[in-house]
Structure 1
Amino acid sequence: MQSAPRVSGGTLCAMGSSRLVLFGGRSSESGLTLGATRLVTVTWPAHAGGRGARPVARWDEVIAEPLHRPGARCYHVAVRWAAAERRGGEARMLVFGGAGDGADALHGDTWCLALPAPAAAGSSSAHARWERVACTGDAPAPRSSHVCAVWPAGGGVPVLHGGLGNDGVMSDVWTLDARDKRWGRMHAVGAPAARAHHAGAIVGDTLLVFSGQDERLLTVDSVCVLHLPTATWSAPALLPAPAPAGRIDAAGGILALGCAAPFGLVVFGGVGASFEFEPTTPWLVRADGDARGALSAAPLSAAPTAARAAGAPRARACAALASDALRVYAFGGFDGQQDLDELWCLSFVPPSFATAGASVDTAASRAREARTDEEMGASDVFRRRRAAQVKELQGLRGASGESYMPVHLRVWHAGAFEALADGEHAQAEAHAACTAAAVATACTLR
């Protein structure tokens, strides 16, 4: 087992069963681009016993021959490629592009990491293997600082957008078919969005593109929406206040509870237009309906001062982010002085923001983890609680308004009230007490 590395500009991908894969990045200290692949297995406490119980992250490096793994790179993309998986088989992660060592070293290759199921691999990553994807036909040009997201409603195809290429900031959109390994360019109508160093995710049938740099290399604060079924871009629009400030090199990803319940684009960290680090209060950006729907945004945790007082990530850019159901993981990044080696998790059930293996979890987390998700998943109570939380998230149309309660606490409360309705009074009251204390702290320091 290894320790966590100090990395910025890498990718983090959720592979199921509380497993994450960290690939690539760069070292700000040495200036070198990195090519290591690491498997992170997060273990959440199954019982409430013991004060200070917290999740633990186990780090293992994937060992592969130099000719059978992608070259060192940073500012690439990585997504779980479920469309290429077989039932009961290996989980697969798709990697494309990135920047290597040297001013002009941009990658345009496509790779796939095959990761055996936990039952087959145990806690070791030795059996994971890299395969270069021999794509047919045209392919996206080499680039870095682009985005890629999976379109579940479109058959699980990865959708790639923008980035910084040899000829500047790009606006093209590509999809990759898992059956014939063919990249296809999407010829969209409307004004194409040229963006690099941006954040993006697919929510339903829409690709949300938030901020980043445009073709003039200027930081913009607009949101562009691509309606994928009709390949139609909407005009760039500003989010209604309050909204996250424009930024580059923010970490972005989808928040969803399964393919049928996507909520929005999570935006975390980054550097603003004045080149100051933005607060790490995560935001949820949403588009209601199709490409012509209304845009909205809401903060997902307490105000920055309250978050820091409670123990939350310091400001950073170039972090890696991955979501696994209602848990959003963020790793590494650069804080202006050094690369970071912290793995943080924003958990919606229970409401907490803590490091894995490095920070004490909240009392609410310890109470909630008295039963595992596997145990609760078999009960009607658990399903009703999740449904209430899904309804709360889908009902968001902006910030919390007159409510002083951060969004992630509101979502948890929806589940807590459902538990009360089912007679789980003791557990729900314990949760409510912890939540009330957290809310009181947020209000005092606001």
Structure 2
Amino acid sequence: MGAIPASVKTSMSSQERSAVPSIDEASTEEAAPSNDGLMPNRMVIFVGLFSLILLLATALVSVTFRHFAGITGWTSLVIPPLLTLGFVPAMLLGFRRRNAAITALYRLSATALAFLNFALIAALVCWIACGITTLLGTSLNSRLLAFSLYGLAVVVTAYGLINAYWIRTTRATVALPNLPPTWRGRTLALVSDVHLGNVRGNAFVRRIVSRLNALKPDAVLLAGDMFDGAEVDLKTVAQSWEKLAAPQGAYFATGNHDEFSDRSKFITALTRAGVRVLHNEKLDLSGGLQLIGVHDGEAGEPVRFRKILERLSIAHDRASILLTHQPSNLTIPEAAGVSLQVSGHTHGGQFWPWTHVVSRVHGRFAYGLNRLNSLQVLTSSGVGTWGPPIRVGTRSEIVLIRLEAETAS
């Protein structure tokens, strides 16, 4: 891919262009502040609460298994908390440095965290079954119950690891009003939430680029969270995008994980690899399709988000696509006349039962193609994972979008 296609032009006047923040304008009104890590107070609260929850959950899982399976010895009480609680220091250390020990600790503890999710369900079922049999006055083979349920938790965790590694292609047809004739029947690929860091690295990017080249989309939209927040070899992982062969290029706007630290280092690496970073701006792709990109830091604040879209003067007589990380504040792009918003962030919940939690938070916009009045919203479950590297009830995906003209009803 290398250079940005000459057919792509910035659809802004010189006055408008100067008003749009670049990565060098972090102090302006519209630019999100660069943070050297998360805010200390928020981090302390998060670490404390999260560690407490992990400790209590692990204790319940361990004590339950010992009780029902008749296991004795200190290892069943000490080792599980050490494994799961290792996730927090591994995550925090990963924000600052990168080495094999941190990577190994993160992967081990993240996998243990995945198992903890299902083992906790197994523990609760054990106690519920015990209560029911006590009320009914019947006997219970507690050892068989414990080994069966905890064994099932192991199997589901293993399935989740494999399922998360398997990248699928999801195809969607989107009909847009006022779609330029030259874009009818053409395709875009949506890639979100790669989460390069301690679990996934350059080999994962190469797989994604290889799949994209096989799909042959006209353009690739990268909807944020390219990076996990942990230290990575930026030059190596970014260079893999140079092999992308999309005629109209690749376009990127940051996600929340890309902004855990100074986002400029990630943006610079991708730019050098030929990815066009959209700094809260609008482009006209070849053929007249409007493409808008807004970074997550700005899109997350309604007033700033509204000002950016108003400044860009989106033409309503031509179809427009907004690339932004989260499917939130949707009334703002709807009011601005955006035809289609493409996002990620939700992971679809990633694994059960969090799939239901995400559906409660984001409603119908948690996944798939949905509509808010004149605005269509396409949310991908993402191609990578965060935290536990598993998927149960969701899948890792690249979304291939076929554009069609919306016909009058």
Superposition TM-score, scaled by structure 1 size: 0.26
Structure number with greater CO (CA < 8 Å, separation at least 6) is 2
**Greater strand proportion:** 1
Larger radius of gyration: 2
The two structures have a TM-score, normalised by structure 2, of 0.27
Q: Relative to total residues, which structure has the larger helix share, 1 or 2?
A: 2
